[in-house]
Amino acid sequence: MPAAGRRRTRPAANQTVQCGGSAQTALNQWLSTRGGATATDLSGPVTWTHNYAGLSDGCGNSGSATVTFTARDACGNTATTAATFAVVDTTPPTLTTAASALSVECGQPGNENAIANWLAAHGGAVATDGCGGVTWTHDYNGVPAECGGAGSVIVTFTATDECGNARTTSAALAIRDQTPPVFTRVPSNVTFPSDGSGNFADIAGWLASAQAVDACGPVTITHNFTGLAGGFGLTGWATVTWTATDACGNSAQCTATVNVIAADGRGQPGVKGSFLIWPNVELKWNTAGQLIQDTFITLSNDYPEYVNVQLYLVQGDPPLPANPQTGERPHPGWNRVDRGLVLTYNQPAYWSAATGDPLSLGSFTVLDAGTPPGRPDPEGTGARVLRGFIVAWAVNEAGHEIRWNHLTGAATIVHYGLRTAWEYPAWAFSVRSVEHGQEPYDCTELDGNGVCHNAAVVPGRLDFDGFQYDAGPDQLLFDFLASGVTIVSRERSATVETDLTLCPLEQDLRQETTGPTRWSA
């Protein structure tokens, strides 16, 4: 029989390939070679056919097909062999671009959208897969707080293909706080009239008035106020710095000044002002002409700029004619000499009235030059004295008075013979009618109620009327022990020596070659 001459020599073999661009080529090759099957027939040639109709639906582009190959000879006799061709996907997606970090500033209105967009874009990562689509997921579950609302977290993005193969990429998401708090209420410079009790409530309310907010969390506000400085009694001033700090340590500052002055706005000792008076400057010499008492003057400026200061050294005693009987020389009186200096910020200026050093201002004895120095002590001690006072006020480059309520001063009288010393603060008068650095207005017209109605700048005239400068005191109340009183404490005693100095505010300091320089109350 013809069938007896047919012989099958090799069956078809299974084949598995990875999903991708070459899978179809491999399938076509497998089909064309009958899965590697071979057959021969003794009676003649063999014809091959197969029943391949496509791959089954797998994941992505994967799948398989069991194909039957049929060998047919010229007489119609057949033989079959079957094998399976499979396209599989065991390769994870390919990461072409890794995820990039995202950093946003805490509290910004667009942060939620920025984070959402970053997550939706898988941190900018890109992945492809040769067997189908890629699905992205992430493990983001919020940012743990490190300080305030700031913090950071590592987010892992996972690219998964349709067959479950996965590849990951990670990037940091940070919510930073690099922005300092913002003061929503900055305390202003304030001046309180003294309440006689320290103005604790006023100052406490002023200190608590600072307010600040931060977009990333709570704010702590502190200040450096420790008390009033430079005052006399219950007056004085303080420049206070507030610091607002957020939870991440960012901080902002603001500064303001509190000044506690006399309740009626009058000049007083020991506070800051634009005009200062040292009412008692006294030099003494013994009978041998040796200096036994000097007065040391201090003057400072706490504003962070330099300022020009006009000074006058004024003799406090009237003229004294010559005495032919004693041979005493004549002495000038109520005379004055002007000096000037420049104060830098926080410059500790001081000088000796006897020598003018170390500022080279000249000796106070220029008011009564001669030998022997000074005049006979009116108290009959046999010593010689030179007495007077010093006035100083802030001026601009043109020599005109200006508002510069940052000057303070003091005087120390040292008696070398008695080995004693006492100090007093300079009287200070503030400019009241203009801003810092400006020339003050003089009141030129009062209304029917005594309130200034018109004003003008009049350089060279200084009015202590409560409008241009603080008013001078109109009442004096003294409380002191009389000279010669003995004070006993346990086994020690001391004898009191009291000096009372009155300095008039009505002075005419005009020079022959300049316009009027006048200060009056």
* DSSP calls for 174-240: EEE-----EEEEPPPPEEEE--SS--HHHHHHHHTT-EEE-TTS-EEEEE-----BS-STT-EEEEE
Query: Among 106, 104, 105, 103, which residue's Cα sits nearest to residue 217?
Result: 106
Does the pTM of the predicted model rise above 0.75? no
Residue 262 has pLDDT above 90, yes or no: no
Cis peptide before 372 (omega within 30 of 0): yes
Integer Cα distance of 252 and 135 in angstroms? 47
Strand partners for 309: 341, 394
Q: What is the per-residue pLDDT for 2?
A: 42
CB 335 within 8 A of CB 312: no
Q: Quick one: DSSP state of residue 319?
A: P
Mean pLDDT of all residues in 292-303: 96
Strand partners for 276: 392, 428
Give the count of alpha carbons within 13 A of 235, CB side only. Answer: 21
Q: Quick one: DSSP state of residue 34?
A: G
pLDDT, greater one: 384 or 130: 384
Integer Cα distance of 167 and 60 in angstroms? 16
Q: What percent of the chain has pLDDT over 70?
A: 87
Per-residue model confidence as pLDDT tens digits over 305-341: 999 999 999 999 999 999 999 999 999 998 999 999 9
Query: Among 290, 298, 278, which residue's Cα sits nearest to residue 416?
Result: 290
Q: Which domains does the chain have, with CATH numbers?
A: 2-88 (2.60.40.10), 94-176 (2.60.40), 183-261 (2.60.40.10), 271-520 (no CATH)
The helix (H) or strand (E) run that includes residue 27 is: helix 23-32
CB 365 within 8 A of CB 283: yes
CB 103 within 8 A of CB 32: no
Q: Quick one: DSSP state of residue 401?
A: B
Q: What is the per-residue pLDDT for 476?
A: 65
Encoded tokens for 400: 């005109």
CB 410 within 8 A of CB 299: no
CB 30 within 8 A of CB 15: yes
Integer Cα distance of 385 and 237 in angstroms? 36
Encoded tokens for 393: 């006020």
Residue 509 has pLDDT above 70, yes or no: no
Residue 517 has pLDDT above 60, yes or no: no
